[in-house]
């Protein structure tokens, strides 16, 4: 079983819609969780971090964490074409990050 | 703040040669740097953790004699791919964790990556 699993993509949403990304992790001792955005040929860019159960909002992005269910999600509201990218979920344990395979999102204009 | 650079951004080399990739934290000190490899359409895979002044810790399946890591200062780590072969062609990305590892600074900051092509 992979440490971090993401819902398979690709995910295509119309401009202005909500994109919903899901991630589960297997290691219960994981301490914090991150969502990275990666454009093709570029390195990952951190967009959200979350450490506590519940929701965390930052602009058009909302991350949700449920440690009991070992589940992390990311909502992108009012999706824009510039949001088209691969989104990587990562779990941190003892300063190491384990990444999911990524979900590719395409926002249709 | 929290800028990490990598050099070179891309490199093409012949099979059997060695290639050195530098990772620098430009505006912070990093006791720990991480080296990742990413093959096309795949996620990032941690290769090794580089600690300033000590030996790197390699992940299972990563050959330490092939991928030499040196972390000589708090702002510089280098990865040398020795006797490179075509299967080593990949996107190599480093990240750095600031010395002050609390709160916001628990995150790792990624470099822009180095595209290695071995002919």
pLDDT value at position B106? Answer: 63
d(CA A78, CA A60): 7
Residue of A12, A10, A9, A16 lying closest to A79 (CA atoms): A16
Q: Which residues pair with A73 in a beta bridge?
A: A22, A64
In B66-85, the residues whose Cβ lies within 8 Å of chain A are none
Dist CA B90 CA B47 (whole Å): 12
For B13, other C-beta atoms within 10 Å of its C-beta total 16
Q: What is the pLDDT of residue B100?
A: 66
Give yes or no for residue A79 having a pLDDT over 90: yes
The SS3 assignment for B112 reads coil
Taking alpha carbons only, the member of A87, A95, A99, A88 closest to residue A31 is: A95
Nearest CB to A99: which of B44, B91, B112? B44
- Average pLDDT of the segment spanning A20-34: 91
How far is residue A25's CA from residue A97's CA, in Å, rounded to a whole number? 12
Nearest CA in chain B to A46: B109
- Residue B46: its pLDDT value, please? 94
d(CA A72, CA A65): 5
d(CA B108, CA A31): 14
Calpha distance A67→B27 (Å, rounded) = 34
According to the model, what pLDDT value does residue A11 have?
A: 95
- Taking only the tens place, the pLDDT of each residue in A48-75 is 999 999 999 999 999 999 999 999 999 9
- The answer to whether the CB atoms of A43 and B110 lie below 8 A apart is yes
A91: which strand partners? Answer: A33, A98
B110 vs A contacts (CB less than 8 Å): 36, 43-46
A92 touches chain B (CB under 8 A): yes
| Interface check A43 vs B, CB under 8 A | yes
In this predicted structure, what is the pLDDT of residue B79? 97
More confident of the two residues A24 and B51: A24
Confidence (pLDDT) at B103:
47
CB contact under 8 A, B46 and A96: yes
User: Which residues does chain B have with pLDDT short of 50?
Assistant: 102-103, 105
pLDDT for the residue numbered A39: 95
Structure tokens at A49: 């971090």
């Amino acid at each position: 079983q992979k440490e971090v699993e993401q819902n398979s993509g690709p995910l295509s949403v119309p401009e202005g819609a909500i994109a919903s990304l899901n991630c589960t992790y297997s290691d219960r001792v994981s301490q914090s969780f991150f969502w990275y955005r990666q454009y093709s040929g570029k390195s990952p860019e951190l967009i959200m971090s979350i450490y506590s159960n519940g929701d965390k909002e930052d602009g058009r992005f909302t991350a949700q964490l449920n440690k009991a269910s070992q589940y992390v999600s990311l909502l992108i509201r009012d999706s824009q074409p510039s949001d088209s990218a691969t989104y990587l979920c990562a779990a941190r344990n003892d300063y190491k990050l384990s990444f999911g395979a990524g979900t590719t999102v395409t926002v249709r204009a | 703040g929290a800028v990490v650079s990598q050099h070179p951004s891309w490199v093409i080399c012949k099979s059997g040669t060695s290639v050195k990739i530098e990772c620098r934290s430009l505006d912070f000190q990093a006791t720990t740097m991480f080296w990742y490899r990413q093959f096309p359409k795949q996620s990032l895979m941690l290769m090794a953790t580089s600690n300033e002044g000590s030996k790197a810790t390699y992940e299972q399946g990563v050959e330490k004699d092939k991928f030499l890591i040196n972390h000589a200062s708090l702002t510089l780590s280098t990865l040398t791919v020795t006797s490179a072969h075509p299967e080593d062609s990949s996107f190599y990305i480093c990240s750095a964790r600031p010395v002050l590892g609390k709160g916001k600074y628990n995150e790792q900051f990624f470099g822009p990556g180095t595209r290695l092509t071995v002919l």
